[in-house]
């Protein structure tokens, strides 16, 4: 859970700080769209791997609790950075760094635009990912883990990428001119990370199931994201 929350918070700050462009574009027959992306995309897909492992081993209920912890931590970070941004700066700091630099790097977080986009996308994407994986596990009777991890990521990351970029553009964090580029690049990169890490996911899931003697099936689970009570196995 600590690593999960760390990934979430670092990703939010990185997304506000920089848009990355490696000079790579889609082929011309696919429109030639440049694949620039917000820097948080480098790390954020790992949070979905954590979500897959948590849901696969411990079930939707425990994953739901961790998702809410991450949500609260991100909200706390946003409030803290907003408060710091409103405080008067010391004279030497103003000359060497300055409020303009602070707002340029952390303004998306402290003004709320980026955090609103991130929290909305995080909430919808993470719960969609966890719900899809839990349902697929029951439907496949625990077989084909790769189908569950990749399938849930296709759903969750799709919702996350679209919602994050649209809300960020609506709140002025990103310009609309690069919205489609960010959505496509983020989605391709995030799904690619999930596929690339599938062998490692298998190793971690197998290890945890053996060590914890746990392999939860969400057969009678209440999937309401706001319901935090326990449920029967």
For 1-59, write each residue's pLDDT tens digit: 888 889 888 888 887 778 888 888 878 776 777 878 878 888 888 888 888 999 999 99
**C-alpha angle 92/98/100, rounded to 5°?**
170
Average pLDDT of every residue of the chain:
85
144 falls in which pLDDT band (50, 70, 90)? Answer: very high
Please, are residues 150 and 195 in contact by the beta-carbon 8 Å criterion?
yes
As a whole number of Å, the end-to-end CA separation of the chain is: 22
Which SS3 state, helix, strand or coil, does residue 164 take? helix
138 falls in which pLDDT band (50, 70, 90)? Answer: very high
Torsion sign, CA atoms 127, 133, 138, 139: positive
- If residue 80 lies in a helix (H) or strand (E), which one and from where to where? helix 60-86
112's torsion region: left (phi>0), alpha (psi -120 to 50) or beta? left
Q: d(Cα 31, Cα 44) in Å, to the nearest integer?
A: 26
Q: Torsion over CA of 120, 129, 182 and 3, rounded to 10 degrees? A: 80
CB neighbour class for 200 (10 Å; exposed up to 12, middle 13-18, buried from 19): exposed
Q: Quick one: pLDDT at residue 18? A: 83
101's torsion region: left (phi>0), alpha (psi -120 to 50) or beta? alpha
pLDDT average, residue stretch 146-173: 89
Please, are residues 41 and 186 in contact by the beta-carbon 8 Å criterion?
yes
Give the predicted TM-score (pTM) of the model.
Answer: 0.80
Q: Quick one: pLDDT at residue 45? A: 82
pLDDT average, residue stretch 66-70: 90
Please, are residues 122 and 41 in contact by the beta-carbon 8 Å criterion?
no
Which SS3 state, helix, strand or coil, does residue 9 take? helix
Q: Quick one: pLDDT at residue 110? A: 58
233 has a pLDDT exceeding 60: no
Q: d(Cα 116, Cα 126) in Å, to the nearest integer?
A: 15
pLDDT average, residue stretch 106-131: 79
Contacts of 140 (CB under 8 A, 6+ apart): 147, 148
231 has a pLDDT exceeding 50: no
Q: Please list the alpha-helical segments (H only) found in 87-221.
A: 91-96, 99-110, 113-139, 145-170, 179-196, 198-212
Q: d(Cα 226, Cα 64) in Å, to the nearest integer?
A: 9
């Amino acid at each position: 859970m600590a690593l999960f929350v760390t990934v979430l918070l670092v990703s939010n700050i990185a997304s506000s700080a920089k848009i990355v462009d490696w000079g790579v574009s889609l082929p011309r027959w696919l429109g030639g769209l440049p694949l620039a992306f917000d820097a948080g995309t480098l790390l954020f897909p790992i949070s979905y791997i954590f979500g897959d492992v948590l849901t696969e081993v411990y079930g939707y209920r425990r994953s739901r609790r961790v998702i809410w912890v991450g949500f609260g931590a991100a909200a706390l970070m946003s409030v803290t950075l907003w408060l710091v941004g409103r405080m008067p700066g010391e004279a030497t700091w103003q000359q060497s760094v300055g409020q303009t630099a602070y707002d340029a790097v952390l303004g998306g977080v402290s003004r709320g635009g980026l955090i609103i986009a991130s929290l909305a996308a995080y909430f919808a994407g993470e719960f969609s990912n966890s719900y899809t994986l839990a349902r697929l596990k029951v439907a496949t009777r625990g077989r084909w883990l790769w189908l569950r991890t990749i399938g849930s990521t296709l759903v969750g990351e799709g919702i996350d990428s679209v919602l994050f970029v649209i809300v960020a553009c609506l709140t002025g964090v990103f310009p609309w001119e690069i919205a489609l580029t960010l959505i496509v690049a983020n989605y391709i990169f995030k799904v690619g990370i999930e596929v690339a890490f599938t062998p490692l996911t298998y190793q971690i899931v197998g290890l945890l199931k053996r060590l914890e003697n746990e392999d939860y099936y969400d057969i009678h689970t209440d999937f309401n994201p706001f319901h935090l009570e326990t449920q029967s196995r």
